[in-house]
Amino acid sequence: MEHFIANFIHISTGTALQVVLLGFIGGVLSGFIGSGGAFFMTPGMMNLGVEGVIAVASNITHKFGKAMVGSHKHGEAGNVDKKLALFVLVTAVVGIQLAVLINSFLFKGGTGHGASKGAGANLYISLVFALILSLVAVSMLWDVLKGSKGEEGDAGPSRKIADALSKLNLPPMIYFKVADTKVSLWVLLPVGIATGYLAGTIGVGGFIGVPAMIYVFGVPTAVAAGTELYLAMFMGAYGALSYAFQGFVDLRLTMLMYLGSLVGIYLGVYGVKVVNERYIRLVTSLIILLCVISRAIAIPMYLRQLGLVDMDPGLDVYFNNTSKFFLFASGITGTLLILFNVIRAYRQRRKLQQSIRVVKTPSPVLSPDLK
């Protein structure tokens, strides 16, 4: 059992409180955006000194519990296509296993002699994180700006890709009843691998899974979100076990994140009900872009630790603190904007309820002629 605790870090009271804060912000963003919030929590833990592979492993374990609760709620609303999720899961586990093998190899020194332990995995995770989430954030911003110009902004997701693929008719074609769509098996398989790979590499699989279901498979948005959560439950469980056997899951970090996220997620979910959808997408894309900038700032530090650039080691703390500042600034600002809208909507609702009570309350003095 020694290898299960070999990679645990020392967690001071200050670090523990910051992890709880990460969980709270990630929970608010998760409920508000509909994502797991890992795009914020994974780099956040890395800024606190947690090795990237341990941050990913602890986060994917944390994701399992939240996905289980979320998929149950979506299931009650009829938004989960279990058949579709299981077909994607077949190859998603391959992607997860590939990610675990690469991260484990890089963490254990697969980058050459003289390199700091874990630096290779930290650099790899940061590069994948920056590349994928840059594409996601730019795509979301483009979508928001296009909608603001009146170009099909409120017409719903485009079905151009899904319709084009369906015309190709690559057998075997599989029909999914809940999603009400027919998809080729050869389209399902690579999407599953990509979703699993990203979930296992940076802890964020939904940013590929949900758009793929909507734009490539032609699945309704609500069903895509519910099905991805159902899928994430199994991916989280498999990823957690795979990383645990390598000794990379720190359950203390997972539990600390739960302390914050379970409170934050309810505030975020309430915010979705009262905030304009275009505003949600705008805030989300800006937060993700700032998270990407935060991770990019840390990259020179990892390059130095790998011996790829000649730089004063004393500069590491400045790179890390600047990266940490951008990350927490984006998360805290986004959370405050969300909470501001939640509080404003709550107060408006209370005023409306009070005005309704006043209208319904009969006058104590009535003229006999009016009775």
What does each of the 371 residues of the chain score in pLDDT, given as a tens digit?
344 444 555 677 878 888 888 888 887 877 666 555 777 888 888 888 888 889 888 888 887 777 777 677 667 777 788 898 899 888 899 999 999 999 888 887 655 555 566 788 889 989 988 888 888 788 778 877 776 555 544 455 556 666 676 677 778 888 888 888 888 888 888 888 988 898 888 877 766 777 778 777 888 877 887 788 788 888 888 888 989 888 888 888 889 988 888 788 777 766 666 666 677 777 777 888 888 898 899 999 988 888 888 888 888 899 999 999 988 888 888 888 877 877 887 788 778 777 777 666 555 555 555 45
Amino acid 2: pLDDT: 41
Residues 69, 74, 78, 82: is their CA dihedral positive or negative? negative
Main-chain phi, psi angles of 174, to 5 degrees: -115, 130
Q: Give the separation between CA 118 and CA 111, rounded to whole angstroms.
A: 9
Amino acid 98: pLDDT: 92
DSSP secondary structure letter of residue 362? P
Domain boundaries, the chain: 12-308+316-351
Query: Phi-psi bin for 203: left (phi > 0), alpha (psi -120 to 50), beta?
Result: left
Residue type, 286: L
Amino acid 289: pLDDT: 87
Amino acid 166: pLDDT: 67
Amino acid 3: pLDDT: 44
Query: Phi-psi bin for 81: left (phi > 0), alpha (psi -120 to 50), beta?
Result: beta
Amino acid 272: pLDDT: 62
pLDDT in tens, 62-85: 877 777 776 776 677 777 888 988
Amino acid 4: pLDDT: 42
Amino acid 345: pLDDT: 75
Q: Which residues, 6 or more positions from 135, have their beta carbon under 8 angstroms from its beta carbon?
A: none
Neighbours of 197 (CB within 10 A): 23
Amino acid 135: pLDDT: 84
Amino acid 297: pLDDT: 92
pLDDT in tens, 175-196: 888 888 888 888 888 888 988 8
39, containing H or E segment: helix 38-47
Q: Which pTM value belongs to this model? A: 0.77
